Amino acid sequence: MTPRHHKPAAARHPDIQHLSYQPEGLYPLDLEIFRVSELQQRVGGEALASTYRYAFPTLIFVTQGTCLHLVDFEHVRCGPGSVLVLRPGKAHSFGDTQDWDGWMVLFRPEFLWAAAPAAQAQTPIDGLDGLPTAWVLGSDSAPVIAHAIAQMQQDTQTHAASLHVHALLRYQLYALLARLRMAHEQQSAQRVPPGRALQRFKAFELLVEKHFATWHQLPRYAQQLGCSEKSLVRASLEAAGVTPKAFISARIVLEAKRLLAHTTWPVARVAEGLGYSDLANFAKFFKREAGCTPTEFRCRQTAHQQGMAGRLQATASHPIPPRPTA
């Protein structure tokens, strides 16, 4: 899948297909909105069924039909009114379901920085904080979100100076994300964690994302954050419901799964890339966390991908009928 304005980036891992936001031609904006049906027509089902890692934040809002996405090895079923939030670095596949439609909203991670408060501008953010990976909007919220996205898409085609269009779209995107957060909070019955605990966990989360391949021990993170290990454990449990150790392990396993599924690297190289000099220790860790050995996991993923390819080939003779775009 290579959307019109988005090209594969230079991959850190040879077989993982990365997409970066790199507009082609004369498209001047740092945000793009299009219908999924348009993408299906442009690239075809086989490309959509492949797995990619996006370097840019992506929102998918389903307007009709049902679909089954694969997000970091978890199947996510979406129907009308569903919102799917893909943060940069997530491994995502549209699967082989084609009888659905919706909106895709893509933007550069730095697009929101220009309007961010000074305090937030010091920390890299993708603008998706506070949003889950997937949920279904209520009947009162879904039409509002659909209208907001359609209006933004129309405004991307405005013939005006890109400086002014960018400003308009930036604040529209802030408003859209704020509406999504409010809708989610109204639906959620979960207790909101205390502000200080959430801030500490967010700082920990950023450190894990940056150093998980080399920092495996809790004391290193606590030292970097300037707090005690007990304080970090308490903050992590209050904000995310997991211990910091479990959070670190889950991030390492997730990256191991990505490499095993989407590269041809030997298991030993995967282990080395994640900070394990001893292959046996890595295999033991992976089996404890994932319930199978690295080799078993890779074989399962290969079988799954081959089965999906066979289903796509069987349906290749039935093209998707054109759909009007909003």
Which of residues 190, 217, 238 is at a domain's end? 190
CATH of the domain at 173: 2.60.120.280
Do 135 and 214 belong together in one domain?
no
Q: Is residue 309 over pLDDT 60? A: no
Lowest mean pLDDT among 24-33, 82-91, 192-201, 272-281: 192-201
* CB distance 194 to 201 below 8 Å: no
Which of residues 148, 170, 190 is at a domain's end? 190
Do 10 and 159 belong together in one domain?
yes
Residue 103 DSSP SS3: strand
Look at residue 249 in the predicted model and tell me its pLDDT: 95
* CB distance 86 to 132 below 8 Å: no
Sign of CA dihedral 59, 60, 63, 68: negative
Do 86 and 227 belong together in one domain?
no
- The verdict on residue 316 lying in a domain is no
DSSP string, 22-57: ---TT---SEEEEEHHHHHHHH-HHHHHS-EEESS-
CATH of the domain at 249: 1.10.10.60
pLDDT band at 228 (very low <50, low <70, confident <90, very high): very high
DSSP structure class, residue 106: E
Report how far residue 107's alpha carbon sits from residue 181's, in angstroms, rounded to the nearest whole number.
Answer: 18
Do 300 and 178 belong together in one domain?
no
pTM of the model: 0.67
- The verdict on residue 319 lying in a domain is no
Do 257 and 212 belong together in one domain?
yes
- The verdict on residue 203 lying in a domain is yes
Report how far residue 94's alpha carbon sits from residue 219's, in angstroms, rounded to the nearest whole number.
Answer: 39
Mean pLDDT of 288-317: 73
Which of residues 134, 156, 190 is at a domain's end? 190
Mean pLDDT of the chain: 82
Residue 77 DSSP SS3: strand
Pick from 63, 71, 18: which is nearest to 36 by CA?
A: 63
Look at residue 307 in the predicted model and tell me its pLDDT: 61
Q: Residue 247: count other Cβ atoms within 10 Å of its Cβ.
A: 19
Sign of CA dihedral 201, 16, 108, 149: negative
- The verdict on residue 321 lying in a domain is no
- The verdict on residue 143 lying in a domain is yes
Question: What's the pLDDT tens digit per position in 133-185?
Answer: 899 998 899 999 999 999 999 999 998 988 899 999 999 999 999 999 988 88
Do 160 and 298 belong together in one domain?
no
Residue type, 177: L
Counted domains in the chain = 2
Domain holding 30, by residue range, is 6-190
Mean pLDDT of 78-91: 91
Do 146 and 52 belong together in one domain?
yes
Scan for tokens 């991670």, then name that residue: 109
Do 77 and 144 belong together in one domain?
yes
Q: Is residue 243 over pLDDT 80? A: yes
Beta strands 6-8; 17-21: pairing state: antiparallel
Look at residue 74 in the predicted model and tell me its pLDDT: 83
Do 143 and 219 belong together in one domain?
no
Look at residue 304 in the predicted model and tell me its pLDDT: 65
Q: Is residue 8 over pLDDT 70? A: no
Do 19 and 147 belong together in one domain?
yes
Cα–Cα separations (whole angstroms), residue 224 to 190, 208, 229: 30, 11, 11
Do 137 and 176 belong together in one domain?
yes
Scan for tokens 């890692």, then name that residue: 53
Do 204 and 116 belong together in one domain?
no
Q: Which two tokens mark 71?
A: 């997000």
- The verdict on residue 315 lying in a domain is no
